[in-house]
């Protein structure tokens, strides 16, 4: 007769769960809430001047739909301008601003005079900005230091682009050096070919005007592609980062916003800071 095998069941001893303390959970939540509150207060204190300005003067001038985006831009713009005391403020325009009433273009936020303007002259190898002649003439009449820039198309002949700019722009004494605006990467050529094209444009324009051009680009484009090989040139850098409030020491101009309001211009306009005072700005103009 076979013996019946009896298998012993393993007894699993479960440890009793510790009951979560109501007070420990409450303290944790209060700690998180306090941390968030401190962060908000710190940011509000840092931007106190801009916030005070905005809520005092701006809150009744914009629609509800635009309020949040405009509020953030206004606060930062005011903060940057406050921190740039002594530096020269300017704008840049093109046909996208439509017709500008230059007689009304005077000060930003009723405090910061607009003392220079960069005006788009040409695009690629075949297009002149529709408002260039008008803007070029009226800016001079309004006693604003003016400069012209060319929007470079990577996939078009660089010397043809330079020839179009030279044909379009006549610089006079007191004007700013010509500007090459490069923002796009090439589609049908290598980066090496792009750089060769940029250099050809710069050399041709410098030979004609007898003044070294300025290069405009975004900060990342500058860092990744241009900083090393074009170190002999001065740069105008676009950077709209909310946390940047002062111009970098290596930048000649800083375009810090594309969302500013200015009398005489419909809609938004770009605002720039020259990394120096008015006398220094006049020093770099065409003689």
Burial of 13 (0-12, 13-18, 19+ CB in 10 A): exposed
74, 92, 219, 270: the active-site residue = 92
pLDDT at res. 97? 97
* Residuewise pLDDT in 10s, the chain (287 residues): 444 444 544 544 555 555 555 555 667 677 676 777 766 555 545 544 444 433 333 434 445 545 566 667 888 899 999 999 899 999 999 999 999 999 999 999 889 999 999 999 999 999 999 999 999 999 999 999 999 999 999 999 999 999 999 999 999 999 999 999 999 999 888 999 999 999 999 999 999 999 999 999 999 999 999 999 999 999 999 999 988 989 999 999 999 999 999 999 999 999 999 999 999 999 999 99
The confidence score (pLDDT) of residue 52 equals 41
What's the pLDDT score for residue 1? Answer: 46
**DSSP string of the chain?**
-PPPP-PPPPPP-PPPPPPPPHHHHHHHHHHHHHHHHHHHHHHHHHTHHHHHHIIIIITTSS-TTTHHHHHHHHHHHHHHHHHTTTSEEEEEE-GGG-S--GGG--EETTTEEEEEEEEEEEETTTEE-TTHHHHHHHHHHTT-EEEEEEE--TTS-HHHHHHHHHHH----TTPPPPEEE--PPPSSS-HHHHHHHHHHHHHHHHHHHSSPPEEEEEHHHIIIIITTTTTTSEEEEE---TT--S--TT-SEEEEEEEE--TTSSS-EEEEEESS-HHHHHHTS--
The predicted pLDDT at position 2 comes to: 47
Give the pLDDT confidence score for residue 91 in this predicted structure.
98
pLDDT for 24: 59
What is the pTM assigned to this prediction?
0.78
Residue 20: the pLDDT is: 52
Active-site residue, selected from the candidate residues 69, 99, 183, 246: 183
The answer to whether residue 92 is catalytic is yes
What is the reported pLDDT for 67?
A: 55
pLDDT for res 28 = 66
Which domains are present in the chain? 86-283 (3.20.20.80)
């Amino acid at each position: 007769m076979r013996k019946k095998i009896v298998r012993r069941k393993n007894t699993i001893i479960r440890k009793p769960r510790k009951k979560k303390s109501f007070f420990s959970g409450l303290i944790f939540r209060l700690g998180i809430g306090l941390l968030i509150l401190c962060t908000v207060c710190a940011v509000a204190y840092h931007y106190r001047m801009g916030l005070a300005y905005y809520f005092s003067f701006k809150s009744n001038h914009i629609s509800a739909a635009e309020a949040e985006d405009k509020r953030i831009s206004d606060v930062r713009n005011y903060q940057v301008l406050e921190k740039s005391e002594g530096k020269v403020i300017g704008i840049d325009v093109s046909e996208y601003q439509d017709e500008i009433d230059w007689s009304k273009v005077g000060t930003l936020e009723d405090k910061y005079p607009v003392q220079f303007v960069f005006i788009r002259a040409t695009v690629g190898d075949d297009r002149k900005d529709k408002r260039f002649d008008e803007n070029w003439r009226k800016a001079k009449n309004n006693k604003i230091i003016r400069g012209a820039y060319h929007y470079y198309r990577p996939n078009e002949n660089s010397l043809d682009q330079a020839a179009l700019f030279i044909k379009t722009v006549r610089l006079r004494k007191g004007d700013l050096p010509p500007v090459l605006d490069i923002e796009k990467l090439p589609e049908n050529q290598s980066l090496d070919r792009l750089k060769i094209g940029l250099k050809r444009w710069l050399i041709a324009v410098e030979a004609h005007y007898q003044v070294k051009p300025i290069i405009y680009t975004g900060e990342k484009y500058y860092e990744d592609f241009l900083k090393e090989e074009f170190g002999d040139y001065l740069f105008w850098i676009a950077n709209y980062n909310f946390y940047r409030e002062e111009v970098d020491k290596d930048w000649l101009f800083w375009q810090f916003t594309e969302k500013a309001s200015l009398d005489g211009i419909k809609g938004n306009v770009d605002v720039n800071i020259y990394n120096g005072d008015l006398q220094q700005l006049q020093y770099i103009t065409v003689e």
